[in-house]
Structure 1
Amino acid sequence: MDVSGTRAADENTGPVEGIKATARRLLVELGAAGLSLEAVAEDGGLAVSALEAVFPHRDDLLTALIIDAYDESADAMEQADQAARAAGAPAGARLLAVTRALRAWSFANTGEFTLIYGSPVPGYHAPQDTVPSASRTPAVLAGIVRSALEAGELTPPRRAVPGPPLLRPEAVELFGGTPEAPFSDVIERGMVLWSSLIGLLVFQVFSRTHDSVRDESAYFDFALAVAAEGIGLVVPAGEGTDTGPH
């Protein structure tokens, strides 16, 4: 297959990566719903048949982009956590570091962020292949919360989640089992933290707070600290430097 005409490809980029690079650029221009094999082929200087030899359907291409987006954003978080742990940071500072890393990735890759956290793409249903990569972000958060629990860095909650367990066994397994009282509902609280983080990023990436917040970066840190209080974790104020948009 001759893909030498793909503008996104260079001598160090293979056919698959060149096609995906073109598709990522079009995500920003067209949105995920407007992405098609024909558009990618035209923009990349390819025959549609050549592209179909790699990605037979548009959904195959979307799936590849989704997996890459989850993996790349999780890589950024894991690297930030590794650096924080190497510096001897407590759990609250680790949480701030990994969420700042996700924020920086989100602003640097708005097309991919929108693909995985924006509105669902009409007609597309993510296959099971995307689950391992999608699970990496909550796994990073769960690891930090688990470390805080084991290190005695969590404050017991004022109230427990009422009624029967609210979570599927898979979520409990990801965390490593249900903790004992008074932290038996920390997994549920961790999911509140996770959803709050993604909602906050959606607000900031899509400029929902720009007309009411003076410093988006400082507000992000504040909002994260408030959300972390729900699991009894203290996030240090003004810790380090956020290199993301202000």
Structure 2
Amino acid sequence: MSAARTARERVRAEMVREITDIARTHLAREGAAGLSLRAIAREMGMASSAIHRYFPTKDDLLTALIIDGYTALGEAAEASQRAGDPPAERWLALCHAVRDFAVARPHEYALLYGSPVPGYQAPADTVAPALRTTLVCGRIISDARPTPPDLAPPPPAAIGPDIEAIRAVMPGVSDDAVTRAVTAWTALFGAVSFELFGQFDNTITHRREFFDHGMRSLARYLGL
């Protein structure tokens, strides 16, 4: 009974993997809004009703793709870190890991950080995978305990509760350092999105070099 159950689980896992692999190719062609369980089933040569045994709805498939995407990005972020490297180098490694993921897998990046899919609401299952990359950044800042240069006004009192919530991923860090970390994190993904979604077309040619310079500048802004 146990062996049979294991075999069934293995077959199911293989089917789920095949469905999500095909879904990624459809994602590249039609985008998230155009994803269709019926079309995927047709390509696999299976009845459209059969695919619902694995993904009852399109939203379930989107959730699986989002979790896979966040997991892959989180793994890349974690793999970029080397024990003993200075905080600035760890920050740069993390930034390039995010950009490299986006350049190599643009449609998955767009699913995670592009325009929301109409009618789709991401469930709580996506939160932990999404936090993996953020936690890498938090560890860098927390380990460094930076004292940023005096280049900006102190954070306004109104965002104090937000700072306290964010400090959960970078304990022991000053309010100013937390605020700067969020600003730098926003700038990182803004730079990647500008490159990926065409805002740098006919403007920035050497994009990796431009990106590297920007992230090094942010390292100084962070006090790393």
- TM-score bracket relative to the smaller structure: 0.7 to 0.9
By how many angstroms is 1:154 displaced? 4.1
Aligned residue for 1:173? 168
Name the amino acid aligned to 2:25: R
Question: Which of the residues 166, 191, 197 maps onto 2:188?
Answer: 197
Name the amino acid aligned to 1:78: E
Aligned residue for 2:91? 95
Q: Matched residues in 1 for 2:149 and 2:175: separation?
A: 10
Report Cα offsets for 1:203-229 as digits up to 9, x if no partner: 111222131113100001111122333
Name the amino acid aligned to 2:110: T
Q: Matched residues in 1 for 2:180 and 2:163: separation?
A: 14
Name the amino acid aligned to 1:225: R
Q: Matched residues in 2 for 1:45 and 1:225: separation?
A: 50
Name the amino acid aligned to 2:93: A
Q: Matched residues in 2 for 1:130 and 1:29: separation?
A: 24
Indicate conservation of the 8 Å contact 1:95/1:144, yes or no: yes
Q: Matched residues in 2 for 1:39 and 1:171: separation?
A: 42
- Structure 1 unaligned segments of length 5 or more: list them: 1-10, 234-246
Q: Matched residues in 1 for 2:140 and 2:164: separation?
A: 20
Instruction: Say if 1:123 and 1:168 are closer, same or farther in 2 by CA, change over 3 A.
Output: farther
Q: Matched residues in 2 for 1:119 and 1:125: separation?
A: 13
Report Cα offsets for 1:167-215 as digits up to 9, x if no partner: 16542212225x3xxx332112111111111111111112221311131
Residue 160, structure 1, aligned to residue 151, structure 2: no
Q: How does 1:1-246 map to 2 (within 5 A)?
A: 14-81=14-81, 84-85=82-83, 88-149=84-145, 154-158=147-151, 159-164=153-158, 165-167=160-162, 169-177=164-172, 179=173, 183-233=174-224
SS in 2 for 1:65: helix
With the length of structure 1 as denominator, give the TM-score of the two structures.
Answer: 0.80
Q: Matched residues in 1 for 2:52 and 2:163: separation?
A: 38
Instruction: Say if 1:142 and 1:99 are closer, same or farther in 2 by CA, change over 3 A.
Output: same
Q: Matched residues in 1 for 2:18 and 2:204: separation?
A: 39
Report Cα offsets for 1:123-154 as digits up to 9, x if no partner: 000011100011111111111111111xxx54
By how many angstroms is 1:45 displaced? 2.3
By how many angstroms is 1:32 displaced? 0.3
Alignment RMSD = 1.8
Name the amino acid aligned to 1:176: P
- Structure 2 unaligned segments of length 5 or more: list them: 1-10
Q: Report how many residues are paired.
A: 211
Indicate conservation of the 8 Å contact 1:91/1:148, yes or no: yes
Indicate conservation of the 8 Å contact 1:167/1:188, yes or no: no
Name the amino acid aligned to 1:155: P
Q: Matched residues in 2 for 1:96 and 1:166: separation?
A: 29
Aligned residue for 1:244? none
Name the amino acid aligned to 2:209: A
Indicate conservation of the 8 Å contact 2:31/2:107, yes or no: yes
Higher percent of residues as helix: 2
Name the amino acid aligned to 1:18: E
Q: What fraction of aligned residue pairs are identical, expressed as a percent?
A: 36
Q: Matched residues in 2 for 1:120 and 1:168: separation?
A: 26
Q: Matched residues in 2 for 1:210 and 1:171: separation?
A: 34
